[in-house]
Amino acid sequence: MKSNWNVFIAVCAGAVAGFAVGQRVGTKGGASQGAPPRAVVPQAAAPLAAPPPGSDQIFKVALGDAPQKGSAEAKVTIVEWSDFQCPFCARAAPLVEQIRQAYPKDVRFVFRHYPLPMHPDAPTAARAGVAAQAQGKFWPMHDWMYSHQRELDAASLEKAAGSLGLDLAKFKAAMASPATEARVKADMQAAQTVGVSATPTFFVNGREHVGGMPFEQLKAEIDREIARADKLLSSGVKPADLYGRLVADAAGPSGARN
């Protein structure tokens, strides 16, 4: 990984209106620890406009059944929308792991799918991630796909699934399932509600960051968020309610966009 993450601001981007248009995500998306996906039937609706460049808008990002690492009561929640064929996403993966190792108790990491139209194998890879999640193997598949970005065709992914110990019959069935495709589209439409248009895009307790950033910069923001969380906890806020309160308080009187 290069030391200067500023070069990664030129992130992968593409129009996605034709790939997934969807309804707003509710503000009460519950957390889960990588639970198997549920069928989601997207409904057509006009996508929301992206926030202006440099916006300090705070978003309450619904988590749903997205795969997660870390406690649901963590002081900082980082949600990433990513594309397994995007080279910038692969380069961001070591930074994510560095943060997780530095904050094993205080940071929760949540992954959501955003396969870009310019990457022909990205939708297949996203379905493979959902299919692997259904067998409790999302993170091993996640790591494999980022390290094998030239092998994201269906046949290669099936071989990878076998090497990772997945039940291949179940994996193939999940890959072909309409529920799996609906799950990916649901992530896409959720991305639209918060103005995501590039990968990787991170939300740190609701604050958007497009592309990579130096570890020191991200660490400084996490430390600020931990300090905010500690104040709320000392005032009597329950750990289970922390994420919602952090986002709501940061959004101010106008409320968080959701």
Q: What does the pLDDT look like over 29-38, one tens digit per residue?
A: 333 333 333 3
Give the pLDDT mean for 175-184: 97
Q: Averaged over 40-48, what is the pLDDT?
A: 30
User: Phi/psi at 243 (nearest 5 deg)?
Assistant: -60, -50
Gap between the Cα atoms of 161 and 250, Å rounded:
41
Sign of the C-alpha dihedral computed for residues 73, 31, 200 and 92 taken in this order: positive
Which residues have CB under 8 Å from 119's CB, separation 6+?
A: 12, 83, 85, 86
pLDDT of 167 higher than 90:
yes
CA 188 centroid distance within chain = 10
Alpha helices in 136-251 (DSSP H): 138-147, 154-163, 168-176, 178-193, 215-234, 242-251
Domain assignments of the chain as residue spans, ordered by start: 50-251
Residue 18 confidence (pLDDT):
35
Residue in 173, 158, 191, 157 with CA at minimum distance from that of residue 85: 157
Confidence label for 136 from pLDDT (cuts 50, 70 and 90): very high
Written as six digits, the tokens of 211 are: 């592309």
CA distance 173 to 151: 20
Q: Strand 201-204 and strand 207-210: pairing?
A: antiparallel
Q: Output the pLDDT for position 61.
A: 85
Q: Which residues contact 47 (CB under 8 A, 6 or more apart)?
A: 17, 21, 22, 189, 192, 193
The CATH T-level fold of domain 50-251 is: Glutaredoxin (3.40.30)
Give dist(CA 200, CA 212) in Å, integer: 7
pLDDT in tens, 96-114: 899 989 999 999 999 999 9
Given a contact cutoff of 8 angstroms between Cβ atoms, the answer to whether 151 and 185 are in contact is no
137, 183, 134, 178: which is closest to 160 by C-alpha? 137
Strand, coil or helix: 229: helix
Q: Give yes or no for residue 55 having a pLDDT over 60.
A: no
pLDDT of residue 56: 61
| pLDDT reported for residue 130 | 98
How many whole angstroms separate alpha carbon 114 and alpha carbon 192? 10
pLDDT number for residue 211: 84
Secondary structure (3-state) at 184? helix
Q: Say whether pLDDT at 23 is over 50.
A: no
Three-state SS for 113? strand
Report how far residue 78's alpha carbon sits from residue 109's, in angstroms, rounded to the nearest whole number: 5
Residue 58: which pLDDT band, with cuts at 50, 70 and 90?
confident
